[in-house]
Copies of this chain bind each other. A is one copy, B any other.
Amino acid sequence: MQVDSETAGKMTENTAVRRQPTQARARARVEKILTAATELIERTGSDQLRMSEIAARAGVPIGSLYQYFPDKASIVRTLAERIMLRVREGLRESLADVESVEDALGRLDNLLEGYYAMFLMEPVTRDIWSGTQSDKDIQDMDIEDSRENARIVAGALKPFVPKKEHARLDTVCFLLMQLTGAAVRLAIAVDRKEGDRLVAEYGRMLRLEYEAFLPDGI
């Protein structure tokens, strides 16, 4: 008896990794592959990413790529996932031990600036992130990512928000996470000067939205 490969192939394979590398050499290989992919994206953009070039640069045969990644998209997806995790860690750290409303809002301002700066300064990150919207699976990841991030932000604000507003706060934070992504993507797609203006305007909107949840006297 044997699984119908047709069926197995069609199943939504959400794990980016085909085979879990247990041995050290295998884990090292996965890293070499990801590093090579990153470097190639840096040189030529993710559009021009070729499996053969990844293999050559990583010093592994083509077959090895498929040992750990089911397809090319999953390599990029893994890189995107790492970016998301990095951002999320930053979010967690930045919003830890918030002491007051002003404190929280100030930190959120800084986060937006940092997010924008990150994409401005890191071409690879920017490329992967923009290309991010091309892949259906990454879009789903991105939405889940926003849910996670929304939990963190909402969690940081909840102490200052009336309990009966908490559910709405969750919804709004989720929405704002996605809007933030859109705003920053727009800002990095236009020239620097206009991008700065757009981020500034967006930052203002964001602050107003958050403030709307706070009790009147702030």
A residues within 8 Å of B by Cβ?
47, 130, 133-136, 139-140, 143, 168, 171-172, 174-175, 178-179, 181-183, 186, 189-190, 194, 197-198, 201-202, 205, 208-209, 212
**Cα–Cα, bound, A143→B202 (Å):** 16
Chain B minimum-CB-distance residue to A200: B171
**A76 to nearest B CB, angstroms?**
12
Q: Which residues of B lie under 8 Å from residue A212 when comparing CB positions?
A: 208
Query: Copies of this chain, how many?
Result: 2
Chain B minimum-CB-distance residue to A189: B143
**Cα–Cα, bound, A198→B170 (Å):** 11
**Cα–Cα, bound, A135→B88 (Å):** 27
Structural contact, A179 and B183, CB atoms closer than 8 A: yes
Q: Which residues of B lie under 8 Å from residue A133 when comparing CB positions?
A: 133-134
A172 touching B186 in the complex, CB below 8 Å, given contacts A133-B134, A134-B133: no
**Which residue in B168, B175, B202 is a CB contact (below 8 Å) of A183?**
B175
**Which residue in B134, B171, B194, B208 is a CB contact (below 8 Å) of A201?**
B171
Q: Which residues of B lie under 8 Å from residue A135 when comparing CB positions?
A: 134
